[in-house]
Amino acid sequence: MTKHIGILTAGGDSPGLNAAIRGVCKAALGKYGMDIIGFRDGFRGLMENRFMRIDNDVVSGVLSVGGTILGTSRDKPHRMMVGGKQQDMTDAIVENYHANHLDALVCLGGGGTQKNALRLMEKGLNIITLPKTIDRDVAKTDSTFGFDTALGIATDAIDRLHSTAHSHHRIIVVEIMGHRTGWLALGAGIAGGADVILIPEIPYDVESISRAILTRVRGGKKFSIVAMSEGAMSVEEANAISAAEEKKERAEDKVERKRIKAELSQIHRKYTDRTLSLSNSLEESTGLESRITILGHLQRGGTPSAADRIIASTLGAACADLIHQGHYGVMVALSGNKPIPVPLDEVAGVRRVIPPGHPWIETARSLGVCLGDGSRRTD
């Protein structure tokens, strides 16, 4: 019997999404003769029952195209703005899934999407997810598609910043995406030869960064590149966040917990304030001029790298195989070069941070890169 599947892309877009849609659909159509519809703009399109039929023509020529042909949004099924009010639209979504006689729904997304997909799975839908994000922060997978492309863009930016920082004898603080993990900043920092790399996993001390920069100046290097992850924070800020998080856990009142949660998310979002403030502090403490560069959404745009196309195609094709086998409730993860199904409830809600002692951290330290926690360059 022909299987009917729905597919959607949710959360921030990411290079490789179209390659993944193509991977799922080409295998589902060609190998298994399935019937596919693509919902537009993430969970919102599913809630509003806006979709397009997907045949081979639709996925032809999209492999190298950035963004997502389906459109995306950050809407969550259980918290969606409808009619000017935030509402739980889960029932409407479940209804549309059944109205379209779907056998499975494929959700392509990052950490937030895994959580939303799990909620739908708990409502009885057959769900399969794929891990997409430039942040590489999804649990239980060795990588996510989008990361490699963003890594290349951020590395290229650091390369370019070197010559101007060098010519003007300046510090340049470059803000790199990554949400609350430092994979992108650490990877690009190492690949681009940044002098200081700041990541959320290691709260920084401004004085130790100044010392590292002044040591370079004494060694004749009057410029420094600081690769700063958007989630990086000073020791003081990180302590304040931990204290607020503990308070939130202890709060018995639901309203108070919600208030602290909203406050915390505001603090997390103020990355550019932190970038600017660090740049100003370093200018003052080192006597060097300092500039900031915010790479922002440039890191998510454009054509996916070859590595991302391979990951997306591999996971997409494996996803079609799993649907054929009726193997649902899983994320198709990457283990080495192999696609493997991982139970969704082991992935959702778990952020993959850089563990202490990770080889990239050790490498950076061995190269004399300052990670903001007191280690210093020796050259």
Q: Which residues bind ligand F6P (CB under 6 A)?
A: 12, 74, 110, 133-135, 177-179, 230, 300
Minimum CB separation of residue 351 from ligand F6P in Å reads 11
How far is residue 49's CA from residue 7's CA, in Å, rounded to a whole number? 12
Nearest residue to ligand F6P by CB is 177
How far is residue 61's CA from residue 64's CA, in Å, rounded to a whole number? 7
Q: How far is CA 358 from CA 51, 81, 141, 185, in A?
A: 43, 41, 16, 14
Minimum CB separation of residue 230 from ligand F6P in Å reads 6
Dihedrals phi, psi of 333, to nearest 5 degrees:
-100, 170
- Please name the residues in contact with 142: beta carbons below 8 A apart, sequence gap of 6 or more: 333, 334, 335, 336
Minimum CB separation of residue 314 from ligand F6P in Å reads 21
What tokens were used for 162?
Answer: 């070197």
To 10 degrees, the CA torsion angle through 81, 84, 87, 91?
Answer: -80
Q: Give the number of residues written for the chain.
A: 379
**Cβ contact 213:282 at 8 Å:** yes
Catalytic pick among 13, 35, 75, 135: 135
Q: Please indicate whether residue 159 is annotated as part of the active site.
A: no
**Residue numbers annotated as active site:** 135
